[in-house]
Structure 1
Amino acid sequence: MSQQEVALVTGGSAGIGRAICEALLAQGSTVVNLDYNKPDWDHDKLVSFQADLTQQTHTEAIAREITSRYAVTALVNNAGATRPGTIDTATMADLDYVVDLHLKASIILVQAALPALRACGHGRIVNMSSRAGLGKAERIVYSATKAGLIGLTRTLALELGGDGITVNAVAPGPIATELFRNSNPEGAPQTRRIIDSIVVKRLGTPDDVARAAMFFLSPDNGFVTGQVLYVCGGTTLGVAPV
């Protein structure tokens, strides 16, 4: 990527988002990280902004600030939260939270970045969905919004293809992030069960997901749009695709 490439990544302070940021930085992009938490790492081409993306007015304000200062050529809507729960326990507050974070913030950021994405002639948008979008117990509100991101991806691809903008989604399966380890400690029986259910018999890594995102983000890959790439170790095999 050229020195003029500017990527906006949400949730880039840690985990999958950090891996994507680091991959972009390694290719020479300027990276704007937008996260609730400040990163504990740095790079001379990394710029970080803090924001609560579940708050519409705050998200709109920070989106205006970023896009007034940077001509964004790539957008990665990565920030996410699980809010586990079954249909018996999920609350409307849980639903509102993940809708605001996964869907509303993504739309706000796409709208803010569109002028620059169009102007560069090879704009790239990657939305972080999930294998859970195909269905996962105890993830009612999470799976609903991650499936919603796939619908958003496909519709944006139809609307923006004529502008040279591609829009794709990456859908990770079990990934060994800090968030995953907090709920599934290494060596715990439930962690072993998860690993045993994965065809390749290991957890994914943030770098596995970042490599998939980087394929979609390349300016050279302008003939791939509206697609979903499951980075899941084979856990979608036997499951009807969306």
Structure 2
Amino acid sequence: MSNPIASTPSTSARPRVLITGGGAGIGAAAALRCHADGYDPVIIDRQIDQVPAGFVAIQADLSSAEDTARALNEALAGGSITRLVNNVGIVVPNDAASQTLAEFDLAVSLNLRCAFQCMQALLPGMQAAGFGRIVNMSSRAALGKDLRTAYAATKAGLIGMTRVWALELGQWGITANAIGPGPIRTELFDKANPPGAERTQKIIQSVPVKRVGTPDDVAHAVAYMLDARSGFVTGQTLYVCGGMTVGVAPV
């Protein structure tokens, strides 16, 4: 594919953060929060409509290992990156009997393989720096949700990888944590759950805080995990779900 569709890469000393799926929704909110917190975001996504000043955007099909490698090479051409947000994902909803192998393979590639590939690409720079922050975007669905065989499997897999990376990479000052969002009001959420619809109201009533979350709610959790001062927190999963996992997730 073509070169980055980006604003001119920053020449400042601001640290860079790589965010997959940063073109919209939670990923875009995380990128904006990271920029406000003093990082220069490098976002990789299939579709990127707008590129704010100070951002680098690379267009890529992250469901392809080859295109992911190409995008990572472009991202790292400007030097090592020691903060990573593995946010990109796909839902492919279907019941267990009807979930196709093609849907399952797509979910594994985009939700799980991509995160692993990005970690491996950035790892040498983190090890050389003696510092790294990895945030994996899991989901409350990892605990179980109907019509989510492929999605739940891959999001649970992210939690498993997070815990292994925490054990293996801590010696280099690298932390790995996961975030498990509950219902978050994005464009995709509103399409599936129109405001005011009965189904949407049932979702809201099932949340202890009586509202759905916003991308900024998740971005705030991302910011905490990326902070240099969060070096004693690793291998954890933080559910940003308004309390929906209480009584479901293990203590």
TM bin, normalised by shorter chain, reads: over 0.9
Asked whether the 8 Å contact 1:29–1:45 carries over to 2, the reply is no
- 1:156 equivalenced with 2:170 (yes/no): no
Q: 1:241 aligns with which of 232, 247, 250?
A: 250
Moved over 3 A (4+): none
Normalised by the length of structure 2, the TM-score is: 0.93
Q: What's the counterpart of residue 63 of structure 1? A: 72
- Which 5+ residue runs of structure 2 have no aligned equivalent? 1-11
Please state whether the residue corresponding to 2:159 is helix, strand or coil. Answer: helix
Output the CA distance in 2 between the equivalents of 1:141 and 1:29: 33
Post-superposition offset of 1:80 = 0.8
1-structure distance, mates of 2:86, 2:67 = 16
In structure 2, the partner of 1:143 is 152
Q: How far is the alpha carbon of 1:68 from its aligned partner? A: 2.6
Superposed CA deviations along residues 17-63 of structure 1, whole A, max 9, x for unmatched, are 011000110122111000010132x3321000011111111111221
Q: Which residue of 1 aligns with 2:88?
A: 79
Residue 227 of structure 2 corresponds to residue 230 of structure 1: no
* CA deviation string 1:50-106 (max 9, x = no partner): 111111111112212212323201000001111001111100101100100011111
The answer for the alignment partner of 1:54 in structure 2 is: 63
Q: How far is 1:120 from its partner?
A: 2.5
Give the one of 197, 202, 207 matched to 1:198. 207
Among candidates 213, 224, 227, match of residue 222 of structure 2: 213
Distance 2:200 2:38 in 1: 37
Q: From 15, 34, 37, give the equivalent of 1:27.
A: 37
Matched, 1:3 2:13: yes
Task: Name the CA distance, whole Å, in 1 between partners of 2:90 and 2:79.
Answer: 27
Distance in 1 separating the partners of 2:199 and 2:122 = 41
Cα root mean square deviation, aligned: 1.3
Task: Report the AA paired with residue 13 of structure 1.
Answer: G
User: Structure 1: which amino acid aligns with 2:83?
Assistant: A
Match of 2:108 among 99, 107, 111: 99
- Give the aligned residue type for 1:180: F
In structure 2, distance between residues paired with 1:138 and 1:108: 27
Asked if 1:115 is matched to 2:92, the reply is no
Mean CA deviation greater in 229-238 or 31-40:
31-40
* Amino acid paired to 1:140: T
Gaps of 5+ in 1: none
Paired with 2:52 and 2:126, the residues of 1 have a C-alpha distance of 24
Q: TM-score, normalised by structure 1?
A: 0.96
Structure 1 Cα separation of the partners of residues 124 and 101 of structure 2: 34
Identity of aligned residues (%): 50
Shift of 1:110: 0.6
Indicate the larger mover: 134-143 or 232-241.
232-241
- Say if 2:24 and 2:48, in contact at 8 Å, map to a contact too: no
